Each structure stands twice: as C-alpha cells, then as structure tokens.
C-alpha cells in the first residue's frame, strides 16, 4: 500500500504552450480510493498517465512510497492500470490475458497459475478461464482487465474511466463490485471519472479538477457541502447549486435546501422568500421547481428548488409560495475570484 504524491506537477503541450496539468500538489493516503473528477479537458487523465509513467511531466515530481519515480519506467513503479477500453487481447483466453504480464516478466508457470487463480477468486471469474473476450459481457471484460492488473500485486492501482462503456444498470453493479474489491485488497487506488455520482459513491476523497488545476480535495461531503469555489459548487449536484450574483458577492444554496416554509426543517435561523414558480419537472420521487424570488435582497433572481414529490401539493406552475433556506446552508463567494468568502447578512 504505497502513498502517491505529486509536487507542483505540470504538463505543458507544445502546441500553443497549452498546460494540460498545472502545479498539481496531492498526496494519497495508504489504501484509499482517491477519485480524480472533472469535465473533459480538465487534465485528470494526463495527471493519471504521468503517475503511471506513460506521460513525461514538464516539471515537478512524482513520488511513490516516498521515492521519486520521474525517471522510472511504468514497470519499475509497480503500478497497474486499467483503461477505458480494457485493452484485452482478443486472440487469448481469459486465463492467458490475466497471466500475460506475469509471463512477460518471466514468472514461472506454477506461480502464474497461482496468481491467476487468486485474482480470479477475488473477482469471481475462474469459470471464464477458457473463454475469449468476444464471448464475455461488458462487466465480465471489466473484471478480467482488473484481474490482469492485480496479478502482479501492484503497490498502486490506477483506473481511467473503466466503467464508461457499460450500460447504466451494469455500471451501477460494477461500481459496487469494484469498490468492494479495492477495499478487500487494500491497495491504494486512483480513479478517473467525469461522473459526479460515481465520484461521490466510490471516493474516500475526491480531487475536483478544472483546466488542469486542482480546485478542491476533500471527502464527498466536503466538496458537496462546502465547495471551495463556484466551479465546484456547480459541477457537483443535479440541479447544480443556485448561484445568485449581488453587488460584490455571489450567494449560493443547493436546490434541495430551498424548500416550502412548511417543509423546511424547524430550528435554527432561516431566510424566507416569496417564490414565484414558472414551471416544474416531475421526476417521480422528486419535483424540480424553477422560478424567481419576489422581494428582499434576492428580488427577481432566478433559482431552482428540488423537493420530495410527497410535498408537491399546490405547487403548480404560476403559483407563488413562501420558501425558506437555513442560513447555515447559504454559501458566499467572492465575485472577482469566485472563491468562498465570509458569510454576510442578507436580511
């Protein structure tokens, strides 16, 4: 279980001096599942490839187990990587796909068999040994790719969107399997995804990235409940956090915290507003309400509310109702830097 650390890690591509990764500092904890989350082009895959040794950094250091590994090959770094495509050899059986890296290292036949059976038992794929990749389902291919990655007992496990090719139902079950598997083997894992649900469900901590830079590192609760800036606030959450610009500050609150006055939690200070509903979306268990605030510091500002459908009586398009948000759920961001700033009065 090795700790991975990057120190001011930077990657600049020659075309237009575009910085794919800019001064990234992060440090994993032993055995944790760390998720790199961000939109396309945020630098998360480039960062992962530099840690793996597949991409040379322009500057900065990469340490694995306290040792600088910038000049070491991927094999010497004792890492294993699972790609989005799984990259299985179509002409080889499942067994031969799994033991391929061991064979390349000159591991003897008996040890290869032992390691393959160990990995297969963890992932429940021993019965697939004689099949070819074309005979497997998407979920089975994913498990074979994971088995091939762990047979070498790597010190770090790197995964680049390995579930993105699966359908929604299979993706949910594969996500759970992968998370439980990582906890069983206890190997430090770094996982790349653009899916916020995946990140929140799987990560011990989440690294939110944008334009090559780290915007925030924290537990799923940290980055969701206490976003460091407006990017994190809006990238996480569906619908995203309401951001209302005022004179020199941006006021933010989650749609699920803006509730009808009778539904809002009792106790603690609340801010109450008249909410004019323009239209709504029924999503089964939830109702999404769109509208504007009437009166007060947020007059005529457009906001969204997300409420349980069980509390939707009377909340029709065109109607107006008193809604409230707890003061503790209101966040403030500097209008210039877009970073979190000190609370202030809205009364």
- The packing angle between helices 109-123 and 94-104, to 10°, is 130
Residue pLDDT, tens place only, 117-152: 988 887 788 999 999 999 998 878 888 888 888 887
Q: Which helix (H) or strand (E) holds 109?
A: helix 109-123
Q: Taking CA 87 as the corner, what is the angle to CA 86 and CA 89, rounded to the nearest 5 degrees?
A: 125
* Other CB atoms within 10 A of residue 73 CB: 9
Q: What pLDDT does 118 receive?
A: 87
Integer Cα distance of 247 and 313 in angstroms: 36
Q: Is 91 exposed, middle or buried (0-12, 13-18, 19+ CB in 10 A)?
A: exposed
pLDDT surpassing 70 at residue 267: no
Percent of the chain's residues with pLDDT above 70: 96
Which residues on adjacent β-strands are paired with residue 127? none
Q: Which helix (H) or strand (E) holds 12?
A: strand 4-13
Residue 239: asked if its preceding bond is cis (omega within 30°), the reply is: yes
Integer Cα distance of 292 and 153 in angstroms: 56
Question: Which pair of structure tokens corresponds to residue 299?
Answer: 């007059």
Task: Note whether 188 and 157 are within 8 A (CB).
Answer: yes
Q: How far does CA 191 lie from the centroid of its chain?
A: 8
Lowest mean pLDDT, pick from 89-98, 156-165, 207-216:
156-165
Instruction: Please give the full DSSP string across 165-207, using - where no structure is assigned.
Output: TS-HHHHHHHHHHHHHHHHHH--EEEEEES-HHHHHHH-SEEE
**Predicted model pTM:** 0.87
Integer Cα distance of 198 and 196 in angstroms: 5
Residue pLDDT, tens place only, 26-60: 999 999 999 999 999 999 999 999 999 999 999 99
């Amino acid at each position: 279980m090795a700790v991975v650390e990057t120190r001011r890690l930077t990657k600049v591509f020659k075309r237009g001096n575009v910085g794919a990764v800019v001064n990234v500092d992060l440090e994993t904890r032993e055995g944790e599942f760390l998720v790199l989350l961000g939109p396309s082009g945020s630098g998360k895959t480039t960062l992962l490839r530099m840690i793996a040794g597949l991409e040379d950094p322009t500057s900065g250091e990469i340490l694995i187990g306290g040792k600088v590994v910038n000049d070491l090959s991927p094999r010497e770094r004792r890492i294993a990587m699972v790609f989005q495509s799984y990259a299985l050899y179509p002409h080889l059986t499942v067994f031969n796909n799994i033991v391929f890296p061991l064979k390349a290292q000159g591991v003897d036949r008996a040890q290869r068999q032992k390691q393959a059976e160990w990995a297969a038992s963890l992932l429940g794929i021993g019965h697939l040994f004689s099949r070819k990749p074309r005979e497997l389902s998407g979920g089975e291919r994913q498990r074979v790719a994971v088995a091939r990655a762990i047979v070498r007992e790597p010190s770090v496990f790197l995964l680049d969107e390995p579930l993105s090719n699966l359908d929604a139902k299979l993706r949910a079950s594969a996500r759970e399997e992968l998370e439980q598997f990582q906890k069983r083997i206890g190997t430090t894992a770094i996982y790349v995804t653009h899916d916020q649900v995946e990140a929140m469900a799987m990560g011990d901590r989440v690294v939110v990235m944008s334009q090559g830079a780290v915007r925030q590192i924290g537990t799923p609760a940290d980055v969701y409940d206490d976003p460091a800036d407006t990017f994190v606030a809006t990238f996480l959450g569906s619908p995203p956090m309401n951001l209302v610009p005022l004179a020199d500050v941006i006021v933010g609150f989650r749609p699920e915290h803006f509730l009808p006055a009778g539904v809002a939690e009792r106790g603690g200070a609340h801010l109450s507003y008249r909410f004019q509903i323009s239209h709504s979306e029924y999503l089964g268990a939830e109702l999404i309400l769109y509208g504007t605030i009437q009166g007060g510091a947020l007059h005529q500002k457009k906001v969204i509310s997300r409420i349980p459908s069980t509390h939707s009586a009377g909340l029709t398009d065109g109607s107006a109702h008193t809604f409230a948000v707890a003061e503790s759920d209101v966040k403030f961001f500097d209008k210039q830097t877009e970073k979190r700033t000190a609370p202030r009065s809205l009364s």
